[in-house]
Amino acid sequence: MSNKAYLEIGGERYEFPVITGTENESAVDIKTLRASTKIVTIDPGYKNTGSCESAITFLNGEKGILRYRGYAIEELAKHADFLEVAYLLIFGELPNGEQLEKFLSDIRKESHVDEEMKKIIDAFPRTAHPMGVLSSMTSALIAFNPSSVNVSSEEAMYHAIVRILAKFPVLVAWTMRKVMGLPREYGDNSLGYVENIHKMMFRHPHEEYRKDDLAIEALDQLLILHADHEQNCSTSTVRIVGSSHAGLFASLSAGISALWGPLHGGANQAVLEMLEAINEDGGDTAKYMAKAKDKSDPFRLMGFGHRVYKNFDPRAKIIKKAADSLLDDLGIEDPILDIAKGLEKEALEDPYFVDRKLYPNVDFYSGIIYRALGIPVEMFTVMFALGRLPGWIAQWREMRLRNEPIGRPRQIYIGANERPFVPIKKRK
């Protein structure tokens, strides 16, 4: 492909460089467009806009490829653990034994969350959505860790990073324990990272914690599969908030809010609620397929479709297999899983879904695993946030280290032209 692009406006011809990434993706570099032509581009939803150059995650939606720092998601899900993947995403390389040990030990030193934070979480009504609670609690952490805000050196960034990797799982566990009416407790620094999260979430006040290898393995894998996904809605939010130098925790809190929406991470809760509704309605999948295709009906098949994947979502493939084997191992027969499989089969044969390249996404089967693990449905998106944490951190760190400018898109104004002010008495 030529490394130049040409644009003709009003008889003038302008030349722009074409840049190419390591996987041969190309982009027209329009940094000088407005300065040289006085015009801007418009692209609602950023469907054709690259917001940055990034070395973290590569995905090819047509081929169903997802790689973190060059490693295939299938290999990482099979061979790595979540903390190794977090290190890989944030620092660029898989850690050796010593590096991983130091990373975990630095995280452990920061695992205390100020007791005053318990008062904040206690003040929320029991019915508050856990995503709202998590976002607020993450923001509240800033008040207790002010030195984490103004970080420009790599060392200061590292401290902010290990702090949040230590404290965020405590917030997640407290959020779930609030939903379940259980006391807010701390973890156990002698345990592995994910095992500790499992303990903090599930330990019953009157029982010894018993390690559950199956559950920990399933949780670890789900967290890896959610760990990063390049410039999606929440990640772009984290980068854009961080670009004002607002600090890591504030950027993450904004990212959590962006993830909450049902068109993004909130879909995992919406999928399970949809499957439950279909089950309660007699399991008539055909009826819901028809609703999803009816343009006068706002109903969408939740967990289907993706802005980028137009072939299959490689994460969905792994999760479907994991859901099958976990339910098998736990001896659970869940009618919801059968409904999900039925819907998937029908959709994959239906021209409406085939023509629009709509396939199950990461959220379609993840809720079935969360449910089997005993996680309440309103906590599903919180679990997604826990998995996405290293990705958000990695993207924020990359943005800061590259000294990216503040994010500030342009617009095309379509409102009223200048008009004289009308005093209130004269208004109609």
Binding string, residues 362-381; x marks residues near ligand ACO by CB under 6 A:
xx------------------
CB of 267 or CB of 326, closer to ligand ACO: 267
Count of chain residues binding ligand ACO (CB under 6 A): 18
Which secondary structure element, helix H or strand E, spans residue 179, and what is its range?
helix 154-180
Query: Cα separation of 305 and 80, whole Å?
Result: 28
Least separation in angstroms between residue 346's CB and ligand ACO is 12
Query: Cα separation of 232 and 307, whole Å?
Result: 9
Residues 259-288 that bind ligand ACO (CB under 6 A): 263-265, 267
Q: Is position 361 an interface residue for ligand ACO (rule: CB under 6 A)?
A: yes
Task: Please tell me which residue in 198, 226, 229, 306 is annotated as part of the active site.
Answer: 306
Q: What are phi and psi for residue 6, nearest 5 degrees?
A: -120, 145
Least separation in angstroms between residue 270's CB and ligand ACO is 7
Query: Cα separation of 172 and 179, whole Å?
Result: 11
CB of 15 or CB of 294, closer to ligand ACO: 294
| Residue with the shortest CB distance to ligand ACO | 305
CB of 221 or CB of 361, closer to ligand ACO: 361
3-state secondary structure of 129: coil
Is 226 a residue of the active site? no
Q: Is position 120 an interface residue for ligand ACO (rule: CB under 6 A)?
A: no
Buried b (16+ CB within 10 A) or exposed e, 393-402: bbbbbbbbee
Q: Out of 109, 204, 356, 410, name the contact with ligand ACO by CB under 6 A.
A: 356
Q: Which residues pair with 7 in a beta bridge?
A: 14
Is 43 a residue of the active site? no
Q: Out of 245, 291, 300, 341, name the contact with ligand ACO by CB under 6 A.
A: 300
Q: Out of 133, 171, 278, 292, name the contact with ligand ACO by CB under 6 A.
A: 292
3-state secondary structure of 4: strand
Amino acid sitting at position 77: A
Please identify, among the stretches 1-9, 82-90, 213-221, 361-369, the one whose residues bind ligand ACO according to the rule CB under 6 A. 361-369
Please identify, among the stretches 55-63, 128-136, 171-179, 294-302, the one whose residues bind ligand ACO according to the rule CB under 6 A. 294-302
Half-sphere exposure of 287 (CA within 13 A, CB side): 10
Count the Cβ atoms, other than its own, within 10 Å of residue 345.
Answer: 11
CB of 159 or CB of 307, closer to ligand ACO: 307
CB of 272 or CB of 337, closer to ligand ACO: 272
- CB-CB contact of 148 with 248 (8 Å): yes
Query: Cα separation of 336 and 274, whole Å?
Result: 10
Q: DSSP label at 263?
A: T
Q: Is position 305 an interface residue for ligand ACO (rule: CB under 6 A)?
A: yes
Query: Cα separation of 1 and 4, whole Å?
Result: 9
Interhelix angle 314-330/213-225, rounded to 10 degrees, is: 170
CB of 141 or CB of 292, closer to ligand ACO: 292
Binding site for ligand ACO (CB under 6 A): 263-265, 267, 292, 300-307, 356, 358, 361-363
Active site residues: 306, 363
